[in-house]
Amino acid sequence: MAYLISEEAKDLLQDVHEFCENEVKEQCKAYDISGEWPKEIYDKAIEMQLHSLEVPEEYGGPGLSRVDVAALIEEMAIADAGFATTISASGLGTKPVLIAGNEEQKKHVCQKIIDGGFGAFCLTEPGAGSDASAGTTTAVKDGDEWVLNGRKCFITNGGIASFYCITAMTDKTKGVKGISMFLVDAGTPGLSTGNEENKMGIRTSNTCDVVLEDCRIPAANLVGEEGRGFSIAMKTLDQARAWMGCVATGIAQRGINEGITYAKERVQFGKPVIKNQAMQFKVADMEIKTETARQMVAHALTKMDMGLPHSKEAAIAKCYASDIAMEVASEAIQMFGGYGYSREYPVEKLLRDAKIFQIFEGSNEIQRIVVANNTIGR
């Protein structure tokens, strides 16, 4: 792994590696089949505070750089992409508050995480996917409360979150400038969740609808200024996209690892198939793509840590890493031959897991629009 990380992160990386090898990698196979959320695995991760890696140090977090955290998240993704997605999506759920919330809100969500909770970010709706501004969820002011109504869909951590950051329209006449961001705790009357999605991949993560029916929250739960919700959401996604690139890179790295191991053991024509130059070139191409993706993720996260503009870099990291994760997973299956197509072997799962990373947190078509706009100018 070629992330340049701190000594503290190196020690933690070894702990994460051992945890994933002993508690995640093999155990998640059964949950991939059943689709059940593996609570006992996450409980053990919480004991190690692996779910709080993105909590700032001043609020009780470990004080790691984003690149440090990326090395740890990738290690989790190598073991199981659904597990890494759950951890990363919890960080996504805190980002709107860390970006635009007040001090009380920041302390509130960070303490929720430290205490063993997860966050969820609620933007997508049945009629508002790539066009996130088309959402119909509303928030109406009633005295010293906001009343929320609407439905969010495909929400990672939706069924297990301790709090939600939710976009809602507060003034329909203003378009995107009429969207606001709200913080809603789990258990608030009027907030409920739908059935868990029966997904193709990342099946150890929880994904469901979040439903708001006359959900009343204090006026103080408005995050940032009224009408700034869409802007906060876009800033949130600008940060989060690099993390999706990080998880996708982990999927690709797992493909390389599994492919090499199998090719060293598989004997055809009297020698291990890894001895064939065609196979060696395949591995080289897989490694080139994966390492390039990793460095793009690191570059985007470094710019974030430095407080520099990073929208284009994060979009490139997410787009490229997810594209090559699909390619590398496919090549890993090819290295296994017919066995790669069987669920008895680990590589077919990588392809199923990889696909979603080309879709969520802005499809790769949207990422290319972001890159083009930042390169050409609007």
d(CA 155, CA 207): 5
The question of whether 226 is a catalytic residue gets the answer no
- Active-site option among 7, 348, 361, 365: 361
* Contact call for residues 332 and 340 (beta carbons, < 8 A): yes
Q: Which helix (H) or strand (E) holds 204?
A: none
For residue 365, the tally of other CB atoms under 10 A from its CB is 11
Q: Strand pairing of 119-122 and 191-193?
A: unpaired
DSSP assignment of 102-162: -HHHHHHHHHHHHTT--EEEE--BTTBSS-GGG---EEEEETTEEEEEEEEEEEETTTT-S
Give backbone dihedrals phi and psi of 218, rounded to 5 degrees, phi first. -60, 150
* Contact call for residues 46 and 55 (beta carbons, < 8 A): no
- Taking the CA atoms of residue 185, residue 41, residue 346 and residue 204 in that order, the dihedral angle to the nearest 10 degrees is -20
Longest CA–CA separation in the chain, Å: 80
d(CA 148, CA 155): 17
Give backbone dihedrals phi and psi of 215, rounded to 5 degrees, phi first. -80, 115
Encoded tokens for 350? 């990588």
Cα–Cα nearest to 329, from 242, 241, 247, 259 = 259
CA atoms within 13 A on the CB side of 195: 4
- Nearest-Å Rg of the Cα atoms of the chain is 21
Write the burial class of residue 182 (CB in 10 Å: 0-12 exposed, 13-18 middle, 19+ buried).
buried
> 């469901």: which residue's tokens?
208
CA atoms within 13 A on the CB side of 312: 9
Give backbone dihedrals phi and psi of 168, rounded to 5 degrees, phi first. -155, 150
For residue 348, the tally of other CB atoms under 10 A from its CB is 18
Q: Which residues are catalytic?
A: 361
